[in-house]
């Protein structure tokens, strides 16, 4: 996750802890110069996101709307939003996901194979996996490698500029991102034009959007509306899923007994699949009870979607407090997920807590209400398939060497004589200030030919995996 988002989460958590002790679960503050009401109770979250959702509209900076596209469904509410959401949910429903299992499994296996002999960021590797799964979901298996490379290259530039200062001066990240966004639109328009020329819009998400109508006038969605929603789906599918996948790897490493229990559950499925020679099935992904609880607990602990912004469209009264029209409203999911009133010993990683369903509106890892993430089941499928192949194909052991993590680069500790096959030792003549070093371990995946695969998890504690 971008550093600025983690910093924002930390600041907001600190603001809440300090002020909530004084003022209770409802308080007002200013964020980025805007008056804002912060809410951290299940009842308040339900009020804003479900029962009175029509009084609170989604709010995003104009620069971000421009980057993704103003017609993307999560910028809207009302009839347009409901119709677009229904269109998107179709290709993400159980029937469609059942058919996607082989594609997700192929993407997972390709991701694991891509680590051979490389030093890479776990998060970035997971982002690549999420992007590949998103591409399959949107375009089916019909997109050639050239088009996929164009989409990946331009989307990467858009992503880098998404959280940058919106300065349109040539050469800035924001300027480059806007140019890449226009190229993305062009690539998507070309793909749609080719499909129309063949007379085969397709049954994937893009095909559904191309054949659908979003207004009472019966007009088909324009290419611009389709492109905005395709880019929106890619955006929603990337960082959040990749972040959770990365945290899951960390949590499994930190709890060896739990890891062994998950491995036992997954080994039984692998044995039923003739030692992994047969593909996973949808029914098997539904039978991974312990693994599913690990995912739920990871979602609670990490709380990747820590909060959401809404804006009051009218004066709203809640529990005797007036929320003026135009004020920002901020339900804090992370604070609810870490509240001991709802989750006993909330700082403890304990998947067994999900043997019993949590109280309503206390667990909202994908949001809540009409704007909840429509792709949450696809994300869970990705997580289940990745865990299956990781824990059945590799075992974990203590790493013998340390790495220095600096500016998201993995540098070999100068005191060490050992380095993975593809790592470049730190140049002794290139000295960094002592304060620049943050020592950590690196994830190592060992293939049968003993090629090292190193994965940097931002700077958190890392581990070593051996091929089994």
State the pLDDT at residue 430. Answer: 33
State the pLDDT at residue 85. Answer: 86
Distance CA 83, CA 95 (A): 20
pTM for this entry:
0.81
State the pLDDT at residue 129. Answer: 93
Which residue range(s) make up the domain with 92? 5-351+358-395
**Cβ atoms of 167 and 191 closer than 8 Å:** no
Q: Which residues are annotated as a binding site for heme?
A: 373
C-alpha distances out from residue 383 to 240, 259, 352, 397, 465, Å: 12, 15, 18, 22, 18
Distance CA 89, CA 154 (A): 26
Q: Which residue has the tokens 């998201």?
A: 408
Q: Per the domain annotation, does 437 fall within a domain?
A: no
State the pLDDT at residue 444. Answer: 36
Q: Per the domain annotation, does 192 fall within a domain?
A: yes
Least confident of 17-31, 119-133, 219-233, 273-287: 17-31
Distance CA 234, CA 73 (A): 13
* Domains in the chain, number: 1
Residue partners of 319: CB distance under 8 A and separation at least 6: 26
Tell me how far apart the terminal alpha carbons of the chain are, to the nearest angstrom.
31
Least confident of 112-116, 228-232, 233-237, 385-389: 112-116
Element (H, E) at 31: strand 26-31
Confidence of residue 297 (pLDDT cuts 50, 70, 90): very high
Q: Per the domain annotation, does 130 fall within a domain?
A: yes
Least confident of 67-81, 150-164, 284-298, 414-428: 414-428
Residue 192 predicted with pLDDT over 80: yes
Q: Per the domain annotation, does 68 fall within a domain?
A: yes
Residue partners of 95: CB distance under 8 A and separation at least 6: none
Q: Per the domain annotation, does 271 fall within a domain?
A: yes
Confidence of residue 31 (pLDDT cuts 50, 70, 90): confident
pLDDT tens digit sequence for 384-425: 999 999 889 876 544 433 333 322 333 333 333 222 323 333
State the pLDDT at residue 12. Answer: 58
Kindly report the CATH number assigned to the domain that includes residue 93: 1.10.630.10
CA–chain centroid gap for 166, Å, is: 23
Q: Which residues are annotated as a binding site?
A: 373
State the pLDDT at residue 59. Answer: 85
Question: Where on the phi/psi map is residue 101: left (φ > 0), alpha (ψ -120 to 50), or beta?
Answer: alpha
Distance CA 456, CA 405 (A): 8
Q: Per the domain annotation, does 281 fall within a domain?
A: yes
In this prediction, residues 356-368 reach a mean pLDDT of: 93
pLDDT tens digit sequence for 71-114: 888 888 888 888 888 888 888 888 889 999 999 999 999 988 87
Q: Per the domain annotation, does 406 fall within a domain?
A: no
Q: Which residue has the higher pLDDT, 76 or 296?
A: 296
How many of the other CB atoms lie within 10 Å of CB of 321?
12
Distance CA 376, CA 384 (A): 12
Supply the mean pLDDT for the chain: 79
Q: Per the domain annotation, does 79 fall within a domain?
A: yes
């Amino acid at each position: 996750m971008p550093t600025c988002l983690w910093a924002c989460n930390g600041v907001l958590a600190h603001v809440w802890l300090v002020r909530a002790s004084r003022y209770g679960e409802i308080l007002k503050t200013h964020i980025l110069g805007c008056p804002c009401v912060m809410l951290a109770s299940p009842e308040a979250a339900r009020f804003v996101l479900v029962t009175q959702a029509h009084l609170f509209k989604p709010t995003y900076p104009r620069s971000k709307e421009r980057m993704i596209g103003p017609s993307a469904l999560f910028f809207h509410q009302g009839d347009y939003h409901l119709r677009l959401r229904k269109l998107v949910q179709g290709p993400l429903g159980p029937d469609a996901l059942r058919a996607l299992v082989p594609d997700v499994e192929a993407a997972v296996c390709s991701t694991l194979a891509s680590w051979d002999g490389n030093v890479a960021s776990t998060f970035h590797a997971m982002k690549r996996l999420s992007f590949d799964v998103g591409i399959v979901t949107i375009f089916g298996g019909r997109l050639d490698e050239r088009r996929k490379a164009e989409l990946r290259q331009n989307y990467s530039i858009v992503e880098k500029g998404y959280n940058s200062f919106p300065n349109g001066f040539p050469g800035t990240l924001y300027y480059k991102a806007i140019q890449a966004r226009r190229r993305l639109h062009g690539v998507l328009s070309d793909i749609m034009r080719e499909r129309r020329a063949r007379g085969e819009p397709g049954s994937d998400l893009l095909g559904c959007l191309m054949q659908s109508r979003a207004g009472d006038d019966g007009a088909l969605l324009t290419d611009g509306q389709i492109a905005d929603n395709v880019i929106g789906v890619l955006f929603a599918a990337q960082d959040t899923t990749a972040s959770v996948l990365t945290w899951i790897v960390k949590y499994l490493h930190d709890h060896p007994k739990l890891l062994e229990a998950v491995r036992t559950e997954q080994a039984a499925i692998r044995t039923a699949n003739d030692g992994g020679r047969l593909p996973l099935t949808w029914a098997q992904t539904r039978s991974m009870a312990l693994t599913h609880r690990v995912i739920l607990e990871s979602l609670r602990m990490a709380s990747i979607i820590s909060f959401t912004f809404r804006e009051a469209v009218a004066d709203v009264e809640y529990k005797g407090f007036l929320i003026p029209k135009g004020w920002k409203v901020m339900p804090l999911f992370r604070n609810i997920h870490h509240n001991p009133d709802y989750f006993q010993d909330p700082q403890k990683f304990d998947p067994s807590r999900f043997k019993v369903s949590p109280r309503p509106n206390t667990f909202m890892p994908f949001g809540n209400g009409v704007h909840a993430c429509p792709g949450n089941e696809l994300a869970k499928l990705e997580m289940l398939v990745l865990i299956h192949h990781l824990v059945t194909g590799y075992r974990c052991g203590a790493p013998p060497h340390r790495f220095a993590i600096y500016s998201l680069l993995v540098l070999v500790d100068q005191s060490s004589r050992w380095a993975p096959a593809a790592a470049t030792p730190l140049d002794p003549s290139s000295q960094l200030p002592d304060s620049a070093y943050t020592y950590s371990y690196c994830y190592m995946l060992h293939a049968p030919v003993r090629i090292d695969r190193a994965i940097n998890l931002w700077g958190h504690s890392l581990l070593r995996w051996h091929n089994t």
